[in-house]
C-alpha cells in the first residue's frame, strides 16, 4: 500500500488514520472485509506489527459474537502463515498459544465451527517427527477426551479428537492414513484386494502395536460413553469412525486374524466395568455390542433410549454391510 499525503495530510498521519479507523470498524463488525484487507496491506508494508495484530484479535475474541465470524479466523490464519517463517513448525510454544486461544473460544461458544476448523489446521501444521510433537498430540487428545465427556453432542469436538488420533498414528508411522480422505468404496476395494493377497504385508513392530493399542482403547472409551450417555448420535458416529479405522488397520497389515492382542489395563479415563466394551473389536463383537444396546432399550422405553435404539440399529446395519464382504 503506497500511502501518500494529499498535500495537506502527511503520509504518517494517513497511516495512523487507516490503522485507527479500520480497528474501530473491525471492533464494530468483525466481518468487514474492506477493513481487514486494508490491515493486511498495512502489515505487508510494515505499518502494523503482525504480532500486535494477533493481540488485537485476541481482544476481539473476548466478544463472544466475534468468535463466530469466519473472516476474523481467516485473518488470523493469514497472519500466522506470514510470520511462520520466524518460528519452526515444531515450535510447540507458539502452536500451544494458538490452541489455548481456540480452547477459550470453545468455552464461549462450544459448537464454534470456525474455531474448531482453525484448531484442526494447527494440528496439521505440526510435524510428526519429534518427541515434542508426540507429547503435544497426546496432551491434546487427553484434553479432548475430557471435553467430549462434558460436551457429548459436540460433533466438532469429536472430529478434533479423531484428528488427534490420526496425528498420533502418523507419529508412530508416517505412512499412516488420514481416514478423512478414505471412502467406503475404498474400504470395499481394499477388502477385495486384501482377500487376494491374504494379508501378506503384516506390519508387526512396537510402533504398529502402539497404534493398535491407541485405537483399541479409544473404542473402549467410546463404547463406555455410549452406555453411560444413551441417545447421543454423535457418540455412535464417533464409534463408526473408529470401527472404520479399525478395519483399515486390519486391511493395511497392522493386525489380522492370527494376531491377538491382550490389554489388561484400559484407558485411565475409562472406568467401565462392563466386559462388553472390552471385547476385541472384530465385526462379530461390534454387532454384539449393538444388540446389547438394543436389549437395554427394550428394558426401558424412555425417549432417549428409543433414540439409542435407532442409533444402534443404524450402526448394526453399517457393520452388517461390511461383514458381507468377509474381510
* Secondary element (H or E) of residue 302: none
Distance between CA atoms of residues 76 and 265, nearest Å: 42
For residue 276, the model assigns a pLDDT of 83
Q: State in Å, rounded, how far the first CA of the chain is from the last one.
A: 61
Distance between CA atoms of residues 105 and 64, nearest Å: 8
Distance between CA atoms of residues 159 and 231, nearest Å: 19
For residue 66, what are the CA distances in angstroms to 30, 80, 293? 6, 19, 42
Q: How many Cα atoms within 13 Å fall on the side-chain side of residue 39? A: 30
User: What b/e string do you get for 156-187 counting C-beta neighbours within 10 Å, with b at 16 or more?
Assistant: bbbbbbbbbbbbbbbbbbeebbebeeeeeeeb
For residue 265, the model assigns a pLDDT of 46
Using the 8-state DSSP alphabet, how is residue 275 labeled? G
The size of the chain, in residues, is: 327
Rounded to two decimals, what is the model's pTM?
Answer: 0.85
Q: Cα 218 from chain centroid?
A: 14
Candidates 323, 144, 284; CA nearest to 221 is 144
Long-range contacts of residues 143-150, Cβ cutoff 8 Å, at least 24 apart: 143/103, 145/221, 145/267, 145/269, 146/269, 147/106, 148/225, 149/225, 149/269
For residue 186, the model assigns a pLDDT of 67
Query: Residue 251 CB: number of other CB atoms within 10 A?
Result: 21
Each domain of the chain, given as residue ranges in start order, spans: 177-327
Distance between CA atoms of residues 188 and 204, nearest Å: 24
Long-range contacts of residues 205-210, Cβ cutoff 8 Å, at least 24 apart: 207/172, 207/173, 208/172, 208/173, 208/254, 209/261, 210/172
Question: Which residues in the chain land under pLDDT 50?
Answer: 9, 195-200, 257-258, 261-273
Using the 8-state DSSP alphabet, how is residue 159 labeled? H
Using the 8-state DSSP alphabet, how is residue 181 labeled? G
Beta strands of the chain (E only): which ranges?
Answer: none
Amino acid at each position: 500500500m503506497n500511502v501518500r499525503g494529499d498535500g495537506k495530510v502527511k503520509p504518517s498521519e494517513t497511516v495512523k488514520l487507516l490503522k485507527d479507523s479500520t480497528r474501530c470498524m473491525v471492533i464494530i463488525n468483525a466481518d468487514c472485509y474492506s477493513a481487514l484487507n486494508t490491515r493486511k496491506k498495512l502489515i505487508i508494508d510494515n505499518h502494523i506489527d503482525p504480532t500486535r495484530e494477533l493481540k488485537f484479535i485476541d481482544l476481539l475474541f473476548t466478544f463472544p459474537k466475534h468468535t463466530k465470524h469466519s473472516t476474523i479466523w481467516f485473518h488470523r490464519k493469514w497472519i500466522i502463515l506470514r510470520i511462520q517463517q520466524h518460528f519452526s513448525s515444531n515450535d510447540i510454544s507458539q502452536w500451544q498459544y494458538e490452541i489455548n486461544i481456540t480452547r477459550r473460544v470453545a468455552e464461549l461458544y462450544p459448537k464454534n465451527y470456525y474455531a474448531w476448523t482453525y484448531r484442526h489446521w494447527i494440528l496439521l501444521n505440526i510435524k510428526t517427527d519429534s518427541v515434542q510433537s508426540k507429547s503435544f498430540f497426546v496432551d491434546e487428545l487427553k484434553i479432548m477426551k475430557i471435553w467430549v465427556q462434558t460436551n457429548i453432542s459436540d460433533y466438532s469436538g469429536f472430529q478434533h479428537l479423531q484428528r488427534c488420533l490420526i496425528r498420533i498414528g502418523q507419529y508412530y508411522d508416517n505412512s499412516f492414513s488420514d481416514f478423512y480422505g478414505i471412502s467406503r468404496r475404498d474400504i470395499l476395494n481394499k477388502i477385495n484386494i486384501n482377500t487376494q493377497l491374504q494379508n501378506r504385508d503384516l506390519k508387526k513392530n512396537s510402533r504398529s502395536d502402539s497404534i493398535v493399542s491407541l485405537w483399541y482403547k479409544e473404542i473402549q472409551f467410546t463404547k463406555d460413553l455410549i452406555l453411560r450417555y444413551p441417545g447421543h448420535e454423535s457418540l455412535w458416529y464417533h464409534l463408526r469412525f473408529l470401527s472404520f479405522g479399525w478395519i483399515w488397520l486390519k486391511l493395511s497389515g497392522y493386525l489380522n486374524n492370527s494376531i491377538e492382542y491382550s490389554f489388561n489395563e484400559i484407558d485411565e479415563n475409562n472406568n467401565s466395568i462392563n466386559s462388553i466394551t472390552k471385547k476385541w473389536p472384530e465385526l462379530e463383537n461390534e454387532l454384539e455390542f449393538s444388540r446389547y444396546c438394543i436389549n437395554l432399550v427394550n428394558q426401558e422405553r424412555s425417549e432417549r433410549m428409543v433414540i439409542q435404539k435407532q442409533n444402534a440399529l443404524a450402526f448394526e446395519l453399517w457393520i452388517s454391510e461390511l461383514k458381507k464382504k468377509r474381510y
